[in-house]
Amino acid sequence: MTGRALSLFFRRRRVVAGVAVGLASALGAGVLAGCSAAGGASGTAGLPQRTETADVLLPTAGMKFDYQIGGGYTPPDGVRAVSRDREDEPAPGQYNVCYVNAFQTQPGALDWWQDTHPDLLLRDGDGELIIDEGWDEALLDTSTAARRTQLAEIVGEWIDGCAENGFQAVEPDNLDSFERSKGKLTQEHNAAFATVLAARAHSEGLAIGQKNTTDLLDRHTEIGFDFAVTEECAQFDECGAYADAYDDRVFAIEYEGEGEVGFDESCSAWGDRISLVQRDLDVLPAGEKGYVFRTC
């Protein structure tokens, strides 16, 4: 399971947000209540800041960002934060965000799941796997406390690995899988699991980012997310909602050739508040044909 394989078909991603409640309650139910695990300071003098109530390092609003989940490479001049796949190495001297596909199977990993944890794959009434057709990924089953506990053991080890490898933060992807579950999953199922992941990340000294979706943005402090990683927020007029919720601690990716809002227009609207980057749809490493990288 290497870097995320992105197809030329771009589908808008959504994600559940929020803070750690207690591990047992989060695994057992979708009821989310409790105190925030992260403070609201966005940093001074352009430096990432420790939170007041949890020993995690938050990104600084507006720090120049590169999205490298398709394969790591030397960050361009001026870049101070990168996101890379969990099996990649963090970039020296950067604020490193670790990409983890937490709610669906990675491309090419379905056989491993079927061989080792077939009961954790979501199935329809006929017993057939429910697949995210846009990315050819099977959905993971977060519908019961028992399955969330088992998934937490697997994904939790990946998060631990991010910390051990030197990342400062983690972004769990596909928290919006309930939208593609044919009614088998609810927002509460995924919110409960997201809360467990936030608690695990914080326990390992990692900040955790909300990946897309404004649907549950009003609950982001309940589940435990500290910042946001968004795709196409300018195209969908959502950058303001993320910026307001996270005190501008937002890493926003716009894709070349997608949507009606040009990157220059996006920069004019949001470049002075959040971290905006334009990438190619395949998120190719530098030097490969089709590679695109622009910042405001």
> What band does 45 get if pLDDT is binned at 50, 70 and 90?
very low
Average pLDDT, integer, range 289-294: 98
pTM higher than the cut 0.85: no
Q: What is the mean pLDDT of residues 32-49?
A: 39
Cβ within 8 Å of residue 85, ≥6 positions away: 2, 3, 4, 69, 71, 72, 98, 99
- pLDDT category at 39 given cuts 50, 70, 90 is very low
pLDDT digits (tens, 9 = 90+) for 142-184: 999 999 999 999 999 999 999 999 999 999 999 889 999 999 9
pLDDT of residue 34: 31
pLDDT at 9 over 60: no
Q: In the predicted model, is pLDDT for residue 44 greater than 70?
A: no
170 phi and psi angles, rounded to 5 deg: -135, 145
Any domain includes 242: yes
Looking at every residue in the chain, the average pLDDT score rounds to 85
Q: Is residue 59 included in any domain, yes or no? A: yes
> In the predicted model, what is the mean pLDDT of residues 200-224?
93
Give the integer Cα–Cα distance in Å for 82 and 98. Answer: 9
What integer is the mean pLDDT of 223-250?
A: 96
Asked whether the predicted pLDDT for residue 233 surpasses 90, the reply is yes
| Predicted local distance difference test score (pLDDT) of residue 54 | 56
Residue 57 belongs to a domain: yes
The pLDDT confidence band at residue 21, using thresholds 50, 70 and 90, is very low
Domain span holding position 69: 23-151+165-270+279-295
Q: What is the pLDDT of residue 186?
A: 94
Q: 221: part of which helix (H) or strand (E)? A: helix 220-223
46 lies in some domain: yes
Query: Is 18 contained in some domain?
Result: no
User: Which pLDDT value is given to residue 231?
Assistant: 92
| pLDDT value of residue 48 | 57
Q: What is the mean pLDDT of residues 279-296?
A: 97
Range 268-275 average pLDDT: 97
Query: What is residue 60's predicted lDDT score, i.e. its pLDDT?
Result: 96
| Residue 169 is assigned to a structural domain of this protein | yes
How crowded is residue 242: how many other Cβ atoms within 10 Å of its Cβ? 28
**Domain count along the chain:** 1
Q: Residues 4, 70: contact at Cβ < 8 Å?
A: yes
Greater model confidence, 28 or 193: 193
Amino acid at 248: D
Q: What is the pLDDT of residue 281?
A: 93
Say what the pLDDT of residue 7 is.
30
CA 7 to chain centre: 18
pLDDT of residue 197: 97
pLDDT, mean of residues 202-208: 97
What distance in Å separates the CA atoms of residue 240 and residue 248, rounded to the nearest whole number? 9
Average pLDDT over residues 65-83: 98
Kind of pairing between the strands at 49-50 and 57-58: antiparallel
* Residue 2 covered by a domain: no
